[in-house]
Structure 1
Amino acid sequence: MAVNHGLGDRIIKVNHAGEHGAISIYTGQIMMARLTAPGLVSELIEFRSHETRHRTLFGAELARRGRPRCRSYWLCGAGGFVLGAMTGLLGANAIAATTVAVEGVVLRHLESQLSALRGNDPGATSAISAIVAEERQHHDDSARRIGAGTFWPKVLTPIVSGATEAVIWLGMRL
């Protein structure tokens, strides 16, 4: 019996584009953090290297399936860079708050994707499962960096979370 990979294909395409966006967020943050939060630069470089590996993983899965990348790929890259540069200018708490907000949404989507695909699309399930631990690390390490009662998380969390949800929603429909 043939398996319909339609949902898995869409999810892998959106995740690939999302990883491109994450690389761009970290690139913008690294550029600005050199001025505003130099103590975070090495961690941001490490996180970006994880996201680069994730993008490569999803890109390989797309190639294996003979599928093109998502039409939102360049939007994710441009939007991610702008978000990263802007929040990087705001300093360490804004950088950490942005990572927590983005990764919180991403982790919820990854868990939902795994539930929807488990038993139906082993290739997609394997690719998604391979990145969850590092995405959790980014979230948790950044959450520990946020100072109690700080301003930026209160402002950025709803904006960044909403924008991340919107990009995922759009990507699933392109």
Structure 2
Amino acid sequence: MTTRATPLIDNDLGNRMIKVDHAGEHGAICIYSGQLFMARVFARDKVDELKEFLSHERRHRAVFQAELRRRGYRRCRSYWLCGLGGLVLGLITGLCGRKAIVATTVAVESVVLRHLAHQLHTLRDIDPLAVAAIATIVEEEQHHHDHSAAQIERDDPWFRALAPVVTAWTEAVIWMGMRS
């Protein structure tokens, strides 16, 4: 007689993912806020786009904040760290100009989109409310990525310099958030 192993289900996984997503959206708000501040001087042609992206990220944070409240959970301990790191990244890349802003957006959103796809797949059978919340932001995150990716070549020096660093940092922040 063979026995079938039952999959290990982490009942708290959706809660942790929503907490990390909320902190990540706060970080994104701070990135775009820092870039917008600098773009007013160094990349004026990006100001309207950054305002649009910033409004999307504020809505995304509100989605996750409402879901945390519904669940009775506090925000992630990495919330303020994501904000501070995002602001520093935004100010520096905004100071560097248009291509640095675009390269940063492509790198961050690439990680975010992979992360969200993983969450949707992982949670689809165990936390439909988390899936619903996450699904509401994917289209706008994809728009941020695609719109920015159309503005820079992968072999551009700004992209080659920033993408690996920003990608690694974003992945590390998500990893740390999931463990806090």
Is the TM-score greater than 0.5? Answer: yes
Shift of 1:148: 6.5
TM-score by length of 2: 0.93
* CA distance in structure 2 between the aligned counterparts of 1:11 and 1:131, rounded to whole angstroms: 14
Shift of 1:119: 1.8
2:162 is matched by which residue type in structure 1?
L
* CA distance in structure 1 between the aligned counterparts of 2:152 and 2:100, rounded to whole angstroms: 8
2:27 is matched by which residue type in structure 1?
G
1:165 is matched by which residue type in structure 2?
E
Shift of 1:5: 3.7
Q: Percent identity between the aligned chains?
A: 61
Which residue matches 2:96? Answer: 90
**Are 1:137 and 2:136 an aligned pair?**
no
Secondary structure at 1:68 match in 2? coil
Q: In the TM superposition, what are the counterparts of 1:55-66 in structure 2 within 5 Å? A: 55-66=61-72
**Are 1:28 and 2:41 an aligned pair?**
no
Alignment check: 8 A CA contact 2:31 2:87 kept:
yes
Q: In the TM superposition, what are the counterparts of 1:7-18 in structure 2 within 5 Å? A: 7-18=13-24
Q: Is the deviation greater in 33-42 or in 20-29?
A: 33-42
Shift of 1:35: 1.0
1:76 is matched by which residue type in structure 2?
C
Give a deviation string over 1:5-55, Cα, whole Å, max 9, x none.
400000000000000000000000000111111001000010000000000
**Are 1:39 and 2:45 an aligned pair?**
yes
Q: Once superposed, which parts of structure 1, at least 4 consecutive aligned residues long, lie more than 4 Å away?
A: none
Give a deviation string over 1:54-110, Cα, whole Å, max 9, x none.
000000000000000000000000000000000001111100000000000000000
Which residue matches 1:107? Answer: 113
Long gaps (5+) in structure 2: 1-8
Instruction: Number of aligned residue pairs: give it.
Output: 172
TM-score by length of 1: 0.96
* CA distance in structure 1 between the aligned counterparts of 2:59 and 2:11, rounded to whole angstroms: 23
* CA distance in structure 1 between the aligned counterparts of 2:99 and 2:153, rounded to whole angstroms: 7
Aligned residues: CA RMSD:
1.2
Going from structure 1 to structure 2, the CA distance change for 1:141 and 1:41 (only over 3 Å counts) comes to: same
Long gaps (5+) in structure 1: none
* CA distance in structure 2 between the aligned counterparts of 1:150 and 1:12, rounded to whole angstroms: 34
2:126 is matched by which residue type in structure 1?
N
Alignment check: 8 A CA contact 1:93 1:147 kept:
no
Q: Is the deviation greater in 140-149 or in 25-34?
A: 140-149
Which residue matches 2:4? Answer: none
* CA distance in structure 1 between the aligned counterparts of 2:10 and 2:175, rounded to whole angstroms: 21
2:161 is matched by which residue type in structure 1?
V
